[in-house]
Amino acid sequence: MPDVSPRRPTRPRDARSTATRRLARAWAVLLGLSLFAYLALAATRPDQMWWLGDLRVYQAGGAAALDGGRGLYDLAVGTARLPFTYTPWAALTFSPLALLPWGAAKPLAVAGNLALLFAAAHLAWGLAGLAPVRARRRAAALTAAVLLWTEPVQETLRFGQVNLLLVTLILYDLSRPRGARFVGAGIGFAAGVKLTPAIFAVYLLATGRWREARTALATFTLTVLAGAVILPEASLRYWNGLFLDSGRMGPIELPGNQSLRGALVRLLGDTRPDAAVWVPVTLAVGAAGILLASALYRASAKIQDEATRRHGELAGVSVTALTGLLVSPVSWSHHWVWIVPGSVLMASAARGVRRNRLRLPAVLAAACALPVATAAPPSLRVELPRPVPTGIIWHVPYKGGRELRLPALEQLVASAYVLVGLLMMIMCAVILCRIGTHTWRSRVGGAEAGRVDVGHSRGKSPHVPAPRSQSDRDESLPIS
């Protein structure tokens, strides 16, 4: 008898292939349009969009390293008189830049940062559990196309900063399978260049990955020893207390400093707040952040769903980075390029959240990061006389002590990244509670099943609980 049961209509294979090709072209077109708009704007004001003041510092530091490190920490580069604030190992790492002419170093830095933006997004989507390579490339292209216009990325490109390289290095390190050789070396190398990534070694310890933490520590120690052997005078000066001098990094009260200390300085109206105020706050947030990051990792590891476990690592990495940004004495807005994995976390987690619970934090995060005007900050008009995209944190009165006398609303604007960062930590704590609830329900469900089997073996009528609906399952686990 022929089968006459209704069948779901299927799209022809060629129709699916056509739709896939069109989708792939759409991602490519969006990325191309974003890059074209950025390059077109930069072509009208290249000296402003690609000021690259920090790249000049790297070149000068590399040249000083090639000269034996003499005068490394006395540098005052460019009209802004920028000092070299990195480790002696960083100067050694930057030494190849000193061999390049400026005409070659400039496009290399811009193209390199654009490529690193895509690479960081690609690695972040891998941590989010997006396994198909083509799908990950499309998602990374969309992410890069959008985040190119956020202030942290714009500032990184404008200054020629090294932050995207460090983000990509750490994401690659933590994307490798657990137990693989030399996992942690990337974190140790990054910390050897810039001390703040050392917080990821603490994250490894907190999550019980002792081998990886030892590798990170050993790699960092090797960078310190290499700097001491090759640049002994500079190393002695740096590690003798110069690395603790946050005043060399610029005025901490500027809105560009989006750290807890910067926010407290502006709130209290004092450039040197009492340590009894800001130190306990910083320590509390730092401890809470590391505990939250490790708890997210550990809780997700107990869930059978592979995508959820991957989300746990991505959430742990994002919260650890966020914690480092908040507790650092100085976190300039271009340090916040960790918005790349953070945005991927929000975008991927939003797929499993009902009732648009991530809409408010997503809007707040975008409003704080997107360049909403084209007026250059007054502090940079010597180097950037023509308008360039900037974020909302610069749209408050500052310079001359004005940022120390802001009313309540402008305080919120001036510390927008800090407030959104704290909101993200609260959101991740809520996700952790939801994961815990899901795990508890699973255990209770297993116990109920055991009792049902016992009752059935005694000849009693088993009670089988009704299956939950798909919406209930979505409600119990907010990330997928």
Q: Are 317 and 297 in contact (CB under 8 A)?
A: no
pLDDT of residue 478 exceeding 50, the answer is no
CB 108 within 8 A of CB 59: no
Question: Bigger pLDDT: 473 or 384?
Answer: 384
Please report, rounded to a whole number, the percentage of residues in the chain having pLDDT higher than 90: 53
Q: Has residue 153 got a pLDDT over 90?
A: yes
Distance CA 95, CA 186 (A): 19
Q: How confident is the prediction for the chain on average, in pLDDT?
A: 82
- DSSP letters, 324-368, are HHHHSS--BGGGGGGHHHHHHHHHHHHTT-STTTTHHHHHHHHHH
- The DSSP line for 123-151 is HHHHHTT---HHHHHHHHHHHHHHHTTSH
Instruction: Tell me what pLDDT residue 324 has.
Output: 97
**In the chain, where the domains are located:** 41-453+465-476
How many Å apart are CA 41 and CA 70, to the nearest integer? Answer: 40
The average pLDDT across 191-219 equals 96
Which residues have a Cβ under 8 Å from the Cβ of 49 and sit 6 or more positions away? 41, 42, 157, 158, 388
Structure confidence by residue, pLDDT tens digits, 424-443 = 898 888 878 876 665 555 55
Rounded Cα distance, 223 and 188, in Å: 8
- In the numeric block, which tokens belong to residue 189? 């190398």
pLDDT in tens, 86-144: 999 999 999 999 999 999 999 999 999 999 999 999 999 999 888 788 889 999 999 99
pTM: 0.84
Cβ neighbour number for residue 221 with a 10 Å cutoff: 12
Q: What's the pLDDT score for residue 129?
A: 84
pLDDT of residue 52: 94
Confidence of residue 307 (pLDDT cuts 50, 70, 90): low
Dump pLDDT digits (tens) for 9-26: 555 555 555 655 665 677
Q: What φ, ψ does residue 240 adopt, rounded to 5°?
A: -85, 10
